[in-house]
Homo-oligomer: A and B are copies of this chain.
């Protein structure tokens, strides 16, 4: 199970083609074929169906591990290099879209403290944030996600990375204004219940059958919600893969479906119906691999000093 073989295996699996994977990796189709054959003979079982190419059940299991192993391998290399290389003078921050919201002022403060340093901020999907920090591409990461109150986020590569909680916030369902739940609770509105302040509060399980937008990089991923309410499945009626909050809100407003977001992100043109059911909150965490760089330390302090 040479890492090279694993790498071509995942490439083939997500290209759905030997030749495409070969091109991506700079190999010949032949080499890729040999890699897969070697893996299959080593493990004693077919890993891929051919023509069309798709993973067998055994291949699926291997895929789950392979990505993590390769990432960890990169993380190891990065970690070793970090102990050798002198700390960088620049500060590169990676953040998931919703985690980056309140970052600007702190970055400004950090720049004021260290006027010389060059700053960079990259917005990327949640998984890539921790990946970028683990592989030393960025020095600091800011990820958001859904978890139980005061529970850490379930991050990959958890080992060798440090995380510091920064904020926790209530979740709400973003709903277009002309919608049964958006009006004050009435006995007729299914799933809505009277609550304090005249606002409805909604139970997640009652919304399983609503139209949902799956925006896994931005809002609460439907998979996470499904897991939280048990085996019930939230089916995506619409998928949004971008990272722009306003676009998502516009989609919701246009009636393409609902999404679960931290309450403060939902603009007034939409209704924000607080979620109460399973104890879920929106959480953001700072991810780093040691804060030896002064700028990084300062920014981390600023971020964690806030509440």
Contacts of A57 in B (CB 8 A): 83
B44 near A84 (CB under 8 angstroms)?
yes
Interfacial chain B residues near A66, Cβ < 8 Å: 76
A81-113 vs B, Cβ < 8 Å mask (1 yes, 0 no):
111100000000000000000000000000000
Q: Residues of B contacting A45 with CB < 8 Å?
A: 80-81, 83-84
B1 near A76 with CB under 8 A, answer yes
Contact A81 B44 (CB under 8 A): yes
Q: Does A53 contact B (CB under 8 A)?
A: no
What is the 8 Å Cβ interface bit string for chain A, positions 159-174, against chain B (1 contact, 0 not)?
Answer: 1100000000000000
Contact check, B43 vs A58: say whether CB atoms are below 8 A apart.
no
Cβ A1 vs Cβ B1 within 8 A: no
Contacts of A72 in B (CB 8 A): 65, 68-69, 72
Shortest Cβ gap from A54 to chain B (Å): 15
**A49 interfacial contact with B, CB 8 Å:** no
- Distance of A259 from chain B, by nearest CB (Å): 27
Residues of B within 8 A of A77 (CB): 1, 43
Complex Cα distance, B43 from A84, in Å, reads: 10
When distances are taken between beta carbons in the complex, the residues of chain B under 8 Å from A2 are 2-3
Query: How far apart are the CA atoms of A44 and B44 in the complex, in Å?
Result: 36
B62 touches A80 (CB 8 A): yes
Tally of A interface residues using CB under 8 Å: 32
Q: Which residues in B have their C-beta under 8 angstroms from that of A80? A: 43, 45, 47, 58, 61-62
CA distance in complex: A245, B66 (Å): 40
B76 touching A160 by the CB < 8 A rule?
no
Residue A75 at the chain B interface, CB threshold 8 Å: yes
Other-chain contact of A160, B44, B65, B81, B158 (Cβ < 8 Å): B65
Bound Cα distance from A83 to B47, whole angstroms: 11
CA distance A66 to B79 in the complex (A): 12
Q: Mark A170-181, 1 if CB is under 8 A from B, else 0.
A: 000000000000
Residues of A at the B interface (CB closer than 8 Å) are 1-3, 43-45, 47, 57-58, 61-62, 64-66, 68-69, 72-73, 75-77, 79-84, 151, 156, 158-160
Additional A-B contacts beyond A1-B76, A61-B82, A69-B73 (7; CB < 8 A): A45-B83, A61-B160, A64-B159, A65-B72, A65-B79, A68-B159, A72-B72
Offer 21 A-B interface pairs, CB within 8 angstroms, sorted by A. A1-B76, A1-B77, A2-B3, A43-B81, A44-B84, A45-B81, A57-B83, A58-B80, A61-B82, A61-B160, A62-B76, A62-B79, A64-B79, A65-B73, A65-B75, A65-B76, A65-B79, A65-B160, A72-B72, A156-B159, A158-B158
